[in-house]
Amino acid sequence: MSTVLTNESTGLARAWHPVMRAADLGNEPVRVQLIGDPWVIVRLNGQISAFLDRCPHRNARLSDGTVVDSTLQCAYHGWRFGETGACALIPALGAGATTPPTANIAPIRVQVKYDLIWIAPQEPLCDILPIAAWDDPELTKVWMPPIVFGASAAQFIDNFLDITHFPFIHLGTFGTKDDETIDGFDLAKDTDPWGFTLLRDHMIANKMDPKVGTGEHPLVQPRSMRYDFRAPFTSALQLHLTMTGMRNVIASFCQPIDMNTSCLYQVMIRNDVHNDDDYARAIAFQTAVFDEDLKIIEYLYDKAIPLSGGQTHTKADRNTVEFRRIMSKLLSAT
Ligand code: FES
Ligand SMILES: [Fe+2]
């Protein structure tokens, strides 16, 4: 029987996943969903904690509670939990009473990286992808608003890594028929046990170049791409337009919410954004590109990706075949 990767595959618990923007966590608890399970994220005593969103008393949602005296207080009967999950107070028993050990809740791993809050429900098998451009002071970060969409995170990343769809669904933005044949690309599979790097030079239609309108540059221009992928659903795509000097790293972090829904956190790290107009133009263009992808990926069958069999691959797909191999390894790890 072939393994199928969905947003609720249990092996996904052994990895880091983004669940919200760090800036969106205020003084009250927030409910998030990951791999089909609900989690509560809360700042207690200056540190961010994450717990299953279920009170051990009568199963209320802890995210409906409030922060009181640096503890998370359940909305139903007022039990309070500290940042390690230890039950600090059961009001019905009175202050200072001993609380049963089963009243404690287990914290899970949490960290802030790339302005996002990440959690790992179980011991993670790999770290979050390093992105060198993140710390480059010469570049400007342009965050897309988080986008919730109706496909699996695997279907998103399979599409993001796919280099053969540009001249078909992206003709409205950057695709060109001159890019239909994949003459070759370099795929480095042995530098990262949980990821790979792909290098490719190809042609795009550069409608964003003002010198195309004046006739100084041709519309179809060469572009260098470098993809870095890290399991489960993170990829940084480094773009370089040699004719204009434009550099842009599109970092994509995808959260598997439930079987049918995912959230994309995406940031562009660019050298061509100097003012508000540039910023707005970059967001509008990237939104148009993703809208083109969504028209296809939200209608793919099954919200799942078969990891062996069930689909037909060619040598032009060998990076997305490698994605399947890595995810197979993650799901079958013991
Ligand atoms: S359900 Fe949470 S205190 Fe009772
Ligand atoms: Fe695309």
pLDDT tens-digit series, residues 81-107: 999 999 999 999 999 999 999 999 999
* Confidence at residue 310, expressed as pLDDT on a 0 to 100 scale: 87
Residue indicated by tokens 């609380």: 99
- Closest ligand (CA of 87): 1
How many angstroms separate the alpha carbon of residue 151 from the centre of ligand 2?
A: 14
How many angstroms separate the alpha carbon of residue 76 from the centre of ligand 1?
A: 5
Indicate the pLDDT class of residue 183, thresholds 50, 70 and 90. confident
- Closest ligand (CA of 57): 1
Number of Cα atoms under 13 Å in the Cβ half of residue 9: 26
Per-residue pLDDT at 225 exceeds 80: yes
Measure the CA–CA gap between 57 and 205, rounded to whole angstroms. Answer: 60
**Ligand 1 atom nearest to 78, measured from its CA:** 3
- Can you tell me the mean pLDDT for 142-148? 98
Residues with CB under 6 A from ligand 1: 55, 57-58, 60, 74, 76-77, 79
| Share of the chain residues as helix, strand and coil, in percent rounded to the nearest 5 | 25, 35, 40
**Ligand 1 atom nearest to 79, measured from its CA:** 3
User: Residue 286 in contact with residue 170, Cβ under 8 Å?
Assistant: no
How many angstroms separate the alpha carbon of residue 155 from the centre of ligand 2?
A: 11
Q: What is the CATH number of domain 132-332?
A: 3.90.380.10
The domain made up of 17-120 has a fold known as Rieske Iron-sulfur Protein (2.102.10)
Minimum CA distance residue for ligand 1 atom 1: 58
**Which tens digit of pLDDT belongs to each residue from 288-305?**
999 999 999 999 999 999
Indicate the pLDDT class of residue 334, thresholds 50, 70 and 90. confident
pTM of the model: 0.97
User: Where exactly does CATH 2.102.10.10 map onto the chain?
Assistant: 17-120
Measure the CA–CA gap between 107 and 84, rounded to whole angstroms. Answer: 6
How many angstroms separate the alpha carbon of residue 162 from the centre of ligand 1?
A: 47
Q: pLDDT over 90 for what percent of the chain?
A: 96
**Which tens digit of pLDDT belongs to each residue from 184-216?**
899 999 889 999 999 999 999 999 999 999 999
**Ligand 1 atom nearest to 55, measured from its CA:** 2
Pocket perturbation via mutation, ligand 1, pick of 74, 90, 105 by most ligand atoms within 8 A of CB: 74
How many angstroms separate the alpha carbon of residue 244 from the centre of ligand 2?
A: 22
Indicate the pLDDT class of residue 127, thresholds 50, 70 and 90. very high
User: Residue 202 in contact with residue 163, Cβ under 8 Å?
Assistant: yes
Per-residue pLDDT at 1 exceeds 70: no
Per-residue pLDDT at 158 exceeds 70: yes
* Confidence at residue 2, expressed as pLDDT on a 0 to 100 scale: 61
Measure the CA–CA gap between 84 and 192, rounded to whole angstroms. Answer: 33
How many angstroms separate the alpha carbon of residue 95 from the centre of ligand 2?
A: 58
Per-residue pLDDT at 268 exceeds 90: yes
User: Where exactly does CATH 3.90.380.10 map onto the chain?
Assistant: 132-332
Letter string b/e over residues 212-224, b meaning 16 or more CB atoms within 10 A of that residue's CB: beeeebeeebebe
Per-residue pLDDT at 5 exceeds 90: yes
- Closest ligand (CA of 55): 1
